[in-house]
Each structure stands twice: as structure tokens, then as C-alpha cells.
């Protein structure tokens, strides 16, 4: 393999010296090999990589950028299937141009199998004049792994314009306007995007998914799992044009809202926020962890919130209806937030415009096992039923004591479940200050 690669580099160097271009290099000279772009002609590393890419056969190939510091103004472009860039740890790519640093633009959206591998340490640095660090255009099958992308303050670290089947793994994305930006373009939406094991910090937004107002579906079936969000200024995740999205197992510790779903005014659907960890810092009541705007089908389950007192949020989950499309519908809470080690942090687990008074229709009719079906006004001060559930016209409670019909009661209209040890449970209704036994109808 070493002899083959050395032969390849020498052949490409000879071609570059004689013709000052790599496009005339016979394709078979790099087929199956790994090319060092420093052996090619060009003013900067961008031009050298493009020369190596142009010399690839239709079956694709790999360009490897060794460790070192590089300044470049020429946008690196991948356009055909199976074209790969491997950037060694220790390589620092300083982009000085005003466009995108790296663009993956499959021909007519039909290309697939593009791979950018930073080997856990390749740095891509931008300037305020640049647009995006890595820009994926319509196509299928993109993988970005181990890249450290920073400094694109007026653009995005990684931008997805209608790209499908995308893996963004094990990167560090910092000091950009949006760390990861997803937007619809004509006839294409960013679907099946999997973002995992990344450190995303000191951006305006960590993830920003929004409507490009183009004829396309919403962003469908995207998964954000096991990432760390820290120090992002406006918020961590903005899900503004999404459906069937999973947010699971992430760590959130930022200044703005952690997860905003439907907050841009467009409807979103089936948003799952499950088993995430939220660390609360700052002044008490300074933000909500999860904010729900327009849409339907929000499932909030098994999250954890913790932080030093008196820090905390007014509401862990806050419904904020939009002016044009109304508020969220079909919200399902299943042990939405817990705080076992330090006690309660948020004043309320679920709020509507910052108030614990929830109007009818907000909480979903579809219930999980063990949930209570509620009709009418609801005061949801806690998702954990440690006492009566206030239904405005009465309450439901349970007791381990034995209750008998005729015993005195104080809360008119209350339903009480009596569950004494080793005895069947019975249901009583408080009427006329006396417990009345509720007898099930005979079949």
C-alpha cells in the first residue's frame, strides 16, 4: 500500500510540475488510493484539494490533508458520489474567503456517500466575512465526523439545505451564529438527520431548524441524541419546521431556552423530548427549559433538572401560543421533570404563558398507561400526584386508610380511593359532608 501511495503522489507531482494542473492526471493513478493534496498545484489548500477531487474517477476517492496550518480562500467542493476528505488531527484550516469554506453539492441532488472525517481533531476556522464552515446541499448520504468548526459568526458551523440522511458525529462546533442550521429549499427538506456525541457551545443557537418558505416538506425524522449544549446565547435547539423529531439524552447548560418547539409561528408535529439533563444556572426564573409554541403532539417524558438554589425556572415546560396559529395541542406529560437530589428547581413543571392555570385542549387526549384523563380546567402545579389534583369543581385523592360510607368528609365533590393493606380498593364520593360509596354497575 505504501509503495502504491508513493507512486500516486509522485505521478501527481510530476503532472502538476509539467502542466500546472492536476486535472490531466490519469484517473487510474488515484483510483483506490489516498492523495496528499500538497503534491498538487494551487495557490492554497482549497485549490489543491479541488485539483485532487477533479482528478478522481467516477467511482470516487479520498483526499487526505496532513497535520499542519493552512490558509485558504478557495472553497473546497465535493460534487460526485463517494468523494471523501480525511483531515488529520493537528490540521488547522483557516478559511479567509467570503463564501462557504467547504461545499458538498451533489449533481442535481442525486449524489450520495460523501464523507468528511476530521479524525477527532481537524480544525476549520472562519472569519466574520465567511458564510458557512461546511454546507450540505440537496443529496443523500452525508457523514461529518470529528470536525472542530468555529468562528463563522455571521454564518453557520454546519449548514444543511435540504440534505437527507446526514450523520454529524463527535464534533466540536463553537463560536458560530448557528452551530447547525437546517432549512428547506425547493423540493428538498433536511430529513433523517442524526446529530450525536457533539460538543456545541458559545453559538447564538446550537441547532436551528427553520422554514425556508419553499415547496418542500417539514424536516422529518431527525434525531438529536447524547450531545452537550453549553453557553449558547439565545438557545440550544430551535425546532421551527419539524415533524417526528426526537431529542433524547442530551446535556443542556446554556443561557437561553434549551428546547423551543414551534416557537417561530409555524406548526410542528410529534416532538419528543425525553430523558435529557438540564443544569440550571443564573437568576431565578430566567428561562424555561422547554417552550412549546404552535403544533400538536408534544411528548415530554423522564427529563431531569438540577441546579444550585436560588437558580431556577418559573416553568420547566412553558406553552407559549403564537399570535397567528394558536398554541400547542396534544401535550402529553409523563414524569416530565424530576429533581430528586436537590428538590424542586422550577416553580411549576408545566405552565401556560407562565401560569400554572392550563386551559382546556392543551393537554392531550391520548394518554399513556397510568395517566389521568382530565376534562375542564386544570391546575398543573406538578406532574407528580403527591396530593389532590385540583379540578376546580372537586379533587381526586387516595389514602391507605380504611374508609366507611357515612364517615365525615370536608371537600365537597371529592373522589377518594381507599386502598387499605391487603384489602380491595374502594371508591368514595364526598356529598353532604359524608362519604358515599361508589358502587360499580352490575353487568
Q: What is the reported pLDDT for 396?
A: 76
Supply the pLDDT for residue 6: 31
Residue 408 has pLDDT above 70, yes or no: yes
Please check the confidence at residue 299 and state whether its pLDDT lies above 60.
yes
Ordered by where they begin, the domains of the chain are 2-388 (2.160.20), 395-437 (no CATH)
Please compute the mean of the pLDDT values over residues 116-124 and round it to a whole number: 94
Question: What mean pLDDT comes out for the span 259-271?
Answer: 93
Nearest alpha carbon to residue 348 among 396, 376, 397, 390 = 390
pTM above 0.85, yes or no: no
pLDDT digits (tens, 9 = 90+) for 21-54: 333 333 333 334 567 787 777 789 999 999 999 8
pLDDT digits (tens, 9 = 90+) for 167-190: 999 999 999 999 999 999 999 999
pLDDT at 76 over 90: yes
Tell me what pLDDT residue 379 has.
Answer: 41
Of the CA atoms within 13 Å of residue 420, those in its CB half-sphere come to 6
Minimal CA–CA distance to 124: which of 82, 75, 162, 78? 75
Q: How far apart are CA 21 and CA 6, in angstroms?
A: 19
Query: pLDDT averaged over the chain?
Result: 81
Residue 336 pLDDT: 85
Peptide bond into 421 cis (omega under 30): no
Between strands 102-104 and 76-78, the pairing is parallel
pLDDT tens per residue, range 342-390? 555 676 778 888 777 777 778 765 444 444 444 444 444 333 333 444 4
- Please state the rounded mean pLDDT for residues 222-229: 98
Distance between CA atoms of residues 312 and 343, nearest Å: 11
Asked if 159 and 124 touch (Cβ cutoff 8 Å), the reply is no
Which has more confidence, 298 or 336? 298
Burial of 404 (0-12, 13-18, 19+ CB in 10 A): exposed
pLDDT top residue among 324 and 273: 273
Q: Compute the distance between CA of residue 120 and CA of residue 31 in angstroms, rounded to an integer.
A: 26
pLDDT, position 329: 86
In this prediction, residue 366 carries a pLDDT of 46
Q: How far apart are CA 80 and CA 250, in angstroms?
A: 34
The CA-to-CA distance between both ends of the chain, in Å, stands at 81
| More confident position, 369 or 403 | 403
Q: Average pLDDT, stretch 11-17?
A: 31
Q: Look at residues 51, 5, 47 and name the one whose alpha carbon lies nearest to residue 29.
A: 5
Q: Between 48 and 337, name the one with better pLDDT.
A: 48
Q: Please give the torsion angle defined by the CA atoms of residues 406, 410, 414 and 420, in that order, rounded to the nearest 10 degrees.
A: -60
Stretch among 16-25, 41-50, 395-404 having the lowest mean pLDDT: 16-25
Q: Which pLDDT does position 13 carry in this prediction?
A: 29
Cβ atoms 159, 186 nearer than 8 A: no
Side-chain half-sphere CA neighbours of 270 within 13 A: 9
Query: Residue ranges of the alpha helices (H) in 84-199?
Result: none
185-204 confidence digits (pLDDT tens): 999 999 999 999 999 999 99
User: Which residues does 438 contact at the CB level (< 8 Å), separation at least 6?
Assistant: 415, 426, 427, 428, 429
Amino acid at each position: 500500500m505504501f509503495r502504491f501511495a508513493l507512486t500516486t503522489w509522485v505521478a501527481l507531482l510530476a503532472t502538476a510540475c509539467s502542466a500546472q494542473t492536476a486535472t490531466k492526471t490519469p484517473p487510474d493513478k488515484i483510483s483506490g488510493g489516498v492523495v496528499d493534496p500538497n503534491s498538487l498545484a494551487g495557490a492554497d489548500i482549497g485549490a489543491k484539494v479541488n485539483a485532487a477531487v477533479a482528478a478522481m474517477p467516477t467511482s470516487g476517492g479520498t483526499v487526505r490533508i496532513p497535520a499542519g496550518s493552512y490558509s485558504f480562500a478557495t472553497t473546497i467542493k465535493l460534487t460526485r458520489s463517494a468523494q471523501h476528505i480525511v483531515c488529520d488531527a493537528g490540521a488547522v484550516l483557516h478559511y479567509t474567503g467570503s463564501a462557504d469554506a467547504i461545499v458538498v453539492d451533489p449533481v442535481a441532488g442525486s449524489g450520495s456517500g460523501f464523507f468528511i472525517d476530521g479524525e477527532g481533531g481537524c480544525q476549520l476556522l472562519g472569519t466574520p466575512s465567511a458564510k458557512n464552515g461546511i454546507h450540505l446541499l440537496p443529496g443523500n448520504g452525508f457523514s461529518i465526523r470529528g470536525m472542530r468548526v468555529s468562528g463563522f459568526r455571521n454564518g453557520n458551523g454546519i449548514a444543511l439545505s435540504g440534505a437527507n440522511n446526514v450523520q454529524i458525529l463527535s464534533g466540536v462546533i463553537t463560536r458560530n451564529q448557528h452551530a447547525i442550521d437546517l432549512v428547506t429549499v425547493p423540493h428538498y427538506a433536511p430529513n433523517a438527520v442524526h446529530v450525536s456525541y457533539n460538543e456545541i457551545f458559545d453559538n447564538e443557537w446550537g441547532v436551528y431548524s427553520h422554514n425556508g418558505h419553499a415547496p418542500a416538506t417539514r424536516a422529518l425524522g431527525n434525531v438529536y441524541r447524547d450531545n452537550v449544549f453549553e453557553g449558547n446565547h439565545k438557545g440550544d435547539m430551535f425546532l421551527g419546521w419539524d415533524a417526528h423529531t426526537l431529542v433524547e439524552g442530551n446535556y443542556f447548560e446554556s443561557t437561553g431556552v434549551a428546547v423551543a418547539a414551534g416557537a417561530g409561528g409555524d406548526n410542528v408535529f410529534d416532538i419528543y423530548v425525553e430523558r435529557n439533563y438540564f443544569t440550571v444556572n443564573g437568576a431565578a426564573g430566567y428561562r424555561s427549559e422547554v417552550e412549546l409554541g404552535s403544533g400538536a403532539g408534544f411528548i415530554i417524558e423522564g427529563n431531569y433538572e438540577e441546579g444550585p438554589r436560588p437558580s431556577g425556572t418559573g416553568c420547566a415546560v412553558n406553552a407559549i401560543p403564537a399570535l397567528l396559529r394558536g398554541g400547542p395541542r396534544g401535550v402529553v406529560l409523563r414524569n416530565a421533570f424530576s429533581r430528586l437530589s436537590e428538590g424542586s428547581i422550577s416553580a411549576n413543571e408545566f405552565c401556560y404563558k407562565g401560569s400554572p392555570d392550563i386551559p382546556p385542549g392543551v393537554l392531550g387526549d391520548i394518554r399513556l398507561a397510568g395517566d389521568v384523563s382530565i376534562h375542564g380546567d386544570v391546575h398543573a402545579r406538578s406532574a407528580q400526584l403527591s396530593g389532590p389534583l385540583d379540578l376546580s369543581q372537586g379533587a381526586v385523592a387516595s389514602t391507605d386508610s380504611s374508609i366507611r360510607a357515612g364517615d365525615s368528609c370536608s371537600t365537597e365533590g371529592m373522589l377518594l380511593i381507599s386502598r387499605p393493606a391487603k384489602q380491595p380498593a374502594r371508591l368514595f364520593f364526598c356529598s353532604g359532608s359524608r362519604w358515599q360509596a361508589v358502587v360499580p354497575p352490575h353487568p
